[in-house]
């Protein structure tokens, strides 16, 4: 049985003092919640603050990006070991905003995924089609290519440490969420792709999140689908009560 995992991707929002009030509120909201893994992914500048505030709680920490090299002359970049040093256990990689605005492709995402795993960070690897690709009937081709390319060369154990996030680009920040059936279809396709890459047993163990306009009102239905193992939440993760409601929707 896969444990559900809900992560909040704060994107480029919240100063460290904003982060402090949000995390304090979340600690109260989710004090007794143990039924799913909960990961906060603030911007780099908030990681140390959030890390300190979640000590001794069941909340976990993730980053939104990293570089694939261990160290060196890469101005403005952050390494996996720097994240580990702040007690980060997860890192979002290949988010569609990074693919779109920073030209990250599957080969680059794959290098980052391998570097993350080598430093014992669990990558949350994002895939998803644009509206144009969906309208052209290319969902299966686009998503399976992203999964195969981003996760190429991983062992079964490494795949099991990886989380895949299906985020249809047209549903991100638009208020237009995929229906639970639309999302389930693609999650099942991702699991089939993982089975081809590794084995049925590995595919059954990998957690696949849905992301794209998840709100308190639609989370329960999405999370009740057989292949949807939680969510990657953008806008609604910036508000403690909304995020906590979504997290609670992941309880069995
Ligand atoms: P929204 O929840 O704001 O649509 O963002 C989804 C997302 O991109 C999470 O990574």
Substitution candidate for ligand 1 out of 233, 242, 249 with most atoms within 8 A of CB = 233
CA of 125 to the centre of ligand 1 (A): 14
Question: Above 80 in pLDDT, residue 9?
Answer: yes
Are 150 and 113 within 8 A, CB to CB?
A: yes
CA of 113 to the centre of ligand 1 (A): 20
Domain that holds residue 94: 5-249
Tens digits of residue pLDDT in 148-170: 999 999 999 999 999 999 999 99
108: which residues sit within 8 A by CB, 6+ positions away? 68
Segment 118-128 shows an average pLDDT of 98
7: which residues sit within 8 A by CB, 6+ positions away? 38, 39, 40, 41, 62, 90, 92, 124, 165, 209, 230, 231, 232, 233, 237
Give, to the nearest 10 degrees, the angle between helix 16-29 and helix 240-248.
40
pLDDT at 246: 98
63: which residues sit within 8 A by CB, 6+ positions away? 41, 44, 47, 78, 83, 88, 90, 91, 92
Instruction: Establish whether 221 is a catalytic residue.
Output: no
Mean model confidence pLDDT for the chain: 97
pLDDT at 175: 85
Substitution candidate for ligand 1 out of 39, 210, 212 with most atoms within 8 A of CB = 212
Question: Above 90 in pLDDT, residue 41?
Answer: yes
The finding on whether 128 has its CB within 6 A of some atom of ligand 1 is no
73: which residues sit within 8 A by CB, 6+ positions away? none
**Angle at CA 12, nearest 5°, toward 6 and 16?**
90
The finding on whether 7 has its CB within 6 A of some atom of ligand 1 is no
Domain count for the chain: 1
Question: Above 80 in pLDDT, residue 228?
Answer: yes
Question: Above 90 in pLDDT, residue 142?
Answer: yes
Question: Above 90 in pLDDT, residue 118?
Answer: yes
The CATH number of whichever domain residue 225 belongs to comes to 3.20.20.70
pLDDT at 176: 87
Of 95, 97, 158, 187, which residue is the catalytic one?
A: 95
Question: Above 80 in pLDDT, residue 46?
Answer: yes
**Angle at CA 59, nearest 5°, toward 58 and 62?**
140
pLDDT at 243: 98
Q: Is the full-model pTM beyond 0.75?
A: yes
The finding on whether 173 has its CB within 6 A of some atom of ligand 1 is yes
Beta bridge partners of 131: none
The DSSP result for the chain, as a single string, is: -PPPEEEEE--S---HHHHHHHHHHHHHHTTT--SSEEEEE--GGGHHHHHHHHTTSSEEEEES---SSSSSS-TT---HHHHHHTT--EEEES-HHHHHHS---HHHHHHHHHHHHHTT-EEEEEE---HHHHHTT-HHHHHHHHHHHHTTT--HHHHHT-EEEE--GGGTTSS-PPPHHHHHHHHHHHHHHHHHHS-HHHHHHSEEEEESS--HHHHHHHHTSTT--EEEESGGGGSHHHHHHHHHTT--
pLDDT at 252: 72
């Amino acid at each position: 049985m896969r444990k559900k995992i809900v992560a909040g991707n704060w994107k480029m929002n919240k100063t460290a003092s904003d982060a402090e009030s949000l995390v304090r509120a979340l600690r109260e909201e989710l004090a007794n919640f143990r039924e799913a893994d909960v990961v906060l992914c603030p911007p780099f500048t908030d990681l140390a603050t959030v890390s300190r505030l979640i000590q001794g709680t069941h909340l976990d920490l993730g980053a939104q990006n990293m570089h694939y090299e261990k160290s060196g002359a890469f101005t403005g970049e952050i390494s996996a070991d720097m994240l580990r040093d702040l007690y980060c256990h997860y890192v979002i990689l290949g988010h569609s905003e990074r693919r779109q605005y920073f030209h990250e492709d599957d080969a680059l995402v794959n290098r980052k995924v391998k570097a993350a795993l080598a430093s014992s960070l669990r990558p949350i690897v994002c895939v998803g089609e644009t509206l144009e690709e969906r309208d052209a009937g290319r969902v299966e081709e686009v998503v399976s290519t992203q999964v195969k390319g981003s996760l190429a060369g991983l062992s079964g154990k490494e795949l099991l440490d990886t989380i895949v996030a299906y985020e249809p680009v047209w549903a991100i920040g638009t208020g237009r969420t995929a229906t639970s059936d639309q999302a389930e279809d693609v999650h099942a396709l991702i699991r089939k792709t993982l089975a081809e890459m590794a084995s049925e047993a590995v595919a059954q163990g990998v957690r696949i999140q849905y992301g794209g306009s998840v709100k308190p009102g639609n989370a329960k239905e999405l999370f009740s689908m057989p292949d949807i193992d939680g969510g990657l939440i953008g806008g609604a993760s910036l508000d403690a009560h909304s995020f906590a409601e979504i997290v609670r929707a992941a309880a069995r």
